[in-house]
Chains A and B, each alone.
Chain A
Amino acid sequence: MRIKTTREKRILYFKTTLRWIIYYLIIFSSFIVMTSGSWKKPVLLVPVALCIAINNDIMASAYTGAFCGLLIDVACGRLVGYNAVLLTVFCVASTLIFELYLRRKFVNFIVIAAAAAFLQCWLDYKFFYEIWGFADVERIFRNTTLKVWGYTVISSVFIYILFKIINNWLMPKEHLTIEEVIRTNQGA
Chain B
Amino acid sequence: MGEFLKSTRFKVLLAFLAFLVGIMIYSVTKGGYSLSGVSFINTITKPFRYISNSISMKIEKNADSINNADAYYEENQELKKQIGELNKKLTNYDDLVAEVEELRKLVVIKEEHPDNIFSQPAEVMGYIANDPFKGFTIDRGYADDIEPYSPVITPEGIVGIVIDVSQHSSTVRTLLSPDLSIAAICSSTNTDFGIIEGTVITAENGMTKLTHLDKNHQIKKGDLMITSGSSGLFPKDHAIGTVTKTGIEANGLSAYAEIEPCADISRLRSVFVITDFDGKNDSTKEDTDEDKDNS
A interface with B by C-beta (< 8 Å): 28, 31-41, 43, 58-59, 62-63, 66, 70-71, 73-77, 79-82, 84-85, 88-89, 92, 96, 100, 132, 134-137, 139-140, 143-144, 148
Interface string of B5-25 (1 = CB under 8 A from A): 000010011001100110111
Q: Which residues of B contact A58 (CB under 8 A)?
A: 9, 13
Q: Which residues of A contact B178 (CB under 8 A)?
A: 132, 134-135
Which interface class (under 10, 10 to 19, 20 to 34, 35 or more) fits B? 35 or more
Q: What total count of A-B pairs have CB within 8 Å?
A: 130
- Measured between alpha carbons, how far is A134 from B131 in the docked complex, in Å? 14
Q: Could you say which of B53-61, B79-87, B96-104, B149-157 contacts chain A?
A: B53-61
Interface string of B59-84 (1 = CB under 8 A from A): 11000000000000000000000000
Minimal beta-carbon separation of B143 from chain A (angstroms): 18
Interchain Cβ contacts under 8 Å between A and B, 26 examples: A31-B45, A32-B48, A34-B129, A35-B129, A35-B137, A36-B126, A37-B59, A38-B60, A38-B267, A41-B130, A43-B130, A71-B41, A76-B129, A77-B164, A79-B24, A81-B25, A81-B27, A84-B23, A88-B16, A96-B4, A132-B179, A135-B201, A136-B201, A139-B200, A139-B204, A140-B132
- If A75-B128, A143-B204 touch, does A85 touch B20 (CB 8 Å cutoff)? yes
Q: Which residues of A contact B21 (CB under 8 A)?
A: 81, 85
Are A32 and B49 in touch, CB under 8 angstroms?
yes
Q: Which residues of B contact A36 (CB under 8 A)?
A: 49, 52-53, 55-56, 126
Nearest residue (CB) in B for A136 is B200
Other than A28-B48, A37-B57, A39-B60, give 12 A-B pairs with Cβ distance below 8 A.
Answer: A34-B129, A39-B56, A66-B20, A70-B37, A79-B27, A80-B37, A81-B23, A82-B24, A135-B200, A139-B200, A140-B132, A143-B132
Among A40, A59, A80, A132, the residue within 8 A (CB) of B27 is A80
Is B281's beta carbon under 8 Å from chain A?
no
6 closest pairs, A vs B, by CB?
A: A37-B56, A81-B24, A36-B56, A81-B23, A80-B27, A36-B52
Are B52 and A80 in touch, CB under 8 angstroms?
no
Are A35 and B1 in touch, CB under 8 angstroms?
no
Are A80 and B24 in touch, CB under 8 angstroms?
yes
- Measured between alpha carbons, how far is A88 from B20 in the docked complex, in Å? 9
CB neighbors of A among B115-134 (8 A)? 125-132, 134
- Measured between alpha carbons, how far is A96 from B3 in the docked complex, in Å? 12
Among A37, A66, A92, A132, the residue within 8 A (CB) of B127 is A37
Is B235's beta carbon under 8 Å from chain A?
no
Are A84 and B57 in touch, CB under 8 angstroms?
no
- Measured between alpha carbons, how far is A40 from B127 in the docked complex, in Å? 10
Q: Which residues of B contact A28 (CB under 8 A)?
A: 45, 48
Is B42's beta carbon under 8 Å from chain A?
yes
Are A37 and B24 in touch, CB under 8 angstroms?
no
- If A37-B57, A74-B38, A135-B199 touch, does A144 touch B1 (CB 8 Å cutoff)? no
Q: Which residues of A contact B16 (CB under 8 A)?
A: 62-63, 66, 88
Are A76 and B52 in touch, CB under 8 angstroms?
no
Nearest residue (CB) in B for A101 is B1
Minimal beta-carbon separation of A71 from chain B (angstroms): 7
Are A70 and B41 in touch, CB under 8 angstroms?
yes
- Measured between alpha carbons, how far is A148 from B128 in the docked complex, in Å? 13
Is B208's beta carbon under 8 Å from chain A?
no
- Measured between alpha carbons, how far is A34 from B130 in the docked complex, in Å? 9
Are A76 and B20 in touch, CB under 8 angstroms?
no
Is B266's beta carbon under 8 Å from chain A?
yes
Q: Which residues of A contact B131 (CB under 8 A)?
A: 76-77
Are B45 and A35 in touch, CB under 8 angstroms?
yes
